[in-house]
Amino acid sequence: MPPNKDSIKLNRPISASENSLKGIGESKSLNENVMSLDSQIEDPFCSPTKPQIVTFADVTSASFKVKNGIINTTCTQKPRLSELAGMEIYLKKDYMQVTGSFKERGALYALLMLSEGKKQTGVISASLGNHALALCYHGKLLKIPVTVVMPVIAPMMKIQACRRYGADVVIDGNDMKEAKLIAMKMGKDLGLTYINGYDHPHIIAGQGTLGLEIVEQVPDMDAVIIPVGGGGLLAGIALAIKTLLPHVKIYGVESDKCPSFSKALELGTPTPVPISSTLADGLAVPLVGYNAFATAKDLIDKMIVVKEEWIAIAILRLVELDKCVVEGAGACGLAAILAGLVDELKGKKSSFTIVWWQY
């Protein structure tokens, strides 16, 4: 039988002090409680000491499984953007998925790979919005109960959208780290399967299907530019493209307000970084995934960090020249191009992925 979630009243927002940290210590502050959680709970699918490297076979398996549940989105050349940048630019528009982001790929694959028993019990995850939306949407279609923990900084429109899909939504934690730890404890208490939105091996494999599509659509590309938050999208796309087209350059882009993957490469291991408010809030993950880092680190040709003003200009140019409105995370690839950070691609053919929510 599924756990009785009504007993903790998940259909309204709750705070850490009410339920999600219950049993850790009523007299402790939120930060102390979160630190206690950090030392007690480990995600069995995302071990810091034994990371799982995703394989190309995993990506092809995911492609077969999800092909009837996701949209094969367009990747077309944009003449006006190409003229502005001095290179052939192709946009992979995965915001055309039903919930507005590439996250549907990994979420659907992870749900499909659950055992029948775990499908009946349900899943839980932490998310700023897009992974939550993807889980909630496909969970509803597959009749799998979904609970999502969203930090207080999550956009209200995404919180409301998750509720419309019938999921249990918990608003808790000041950032993704706190929300994740709270979700993991709730999952342990309720017997729910925790699905990491950027580091679960099935999530990474699912995101890799986007890379397979890009190869089919632009087989003669010279480079692909990928926005980076937790690293799952970068790992999946890099794995798919480098396996099929080893000469193609893989560039990752992140905000200077949260350069967590760049720091991981610098230090040789995922390391927490402080985060600040950013237009690219979908990339605001303070610690990159262990599996994602292990999978991607040897496949990346260049990491790029972009400033807020560059992201803002990229959002504006996409409105002006392509008539699409995307959130900051989806504009980071163009931001890197317009800021002159990939001038080595002048005169060449590059694809950058606009894979996040379209407002």
Q: What is the pLDDT of residue 8?
A: 35
3-state SS of 145-180? CEEEEECCCCCHHHHHHHHHCCCEEEECCCCHHHHH
Q: What is the DSSP string of 205-256?
A: HHHHHHHHHHHHH-TT-SEEEEE-SSSHHHHHHHHHHHHH-TTSEEEEEEET
Query: In this predicted model, what pLDDT tens digit does every residue of 120-168 receive, in sequence order?
Result: 999 999 998 899 999 999 999 999 999 999 999 888 999 999 999 999 9
For residue 261, what pLDDT is reported?
A: 97
Structure tokens at 102: 């590439």
On whether the pTM is more than 0.85, the answer is yes
What is the model's pLDDT at position 43? 87
Give, as one character, the DSSP assignment of residue 301.
S
State residue 284's pLDDT score.
Answer: 85
Alpha-carbon 239 to chain mean position: 16
Write down the pLDDT at residue 345.
92
What is the per-residue pLDDT across 161-196, written as a single tens digit (0 to 9) for each?
Answer: 999 999 999 999 988 888 999 999 999 999 999 999
Q: Could you say which residues of the chain have pLDDT below 70?
A: 1-40, 351-359
Residues 301, 307, 311, 314, CA torsion sign: negative
Q: Which helix (H) or strand (E) holds 193?
A: strand 193-194
Q: Which pLDDT value is given to residue 28? A: 44
Domains, the chain, with CATH or none: 56-100+202-354 (3.40.50.1100)
Q: How many C-beta atoms surround the C-beta of residue 81 within 10 A?
A: 23
> CA 341, CA 353: separation in Å to the nearest integer?
16
- C-alpha radius of gyration, the chain, whole number: 19
CB count, 10 Å around CB of 84? 16
pLDDT of 210: 96
Judge whether 239 and 54 are in contact, CB under 8 Å.
yes
CA distances from 80 to 224, 266, 309, 333, 346 (A): 19, 36, 21, 16, 15
Residue of 332, 317, 236, 324 whose CA lies nearest to 281: 332
- What's residue 272's pLDDT? 92
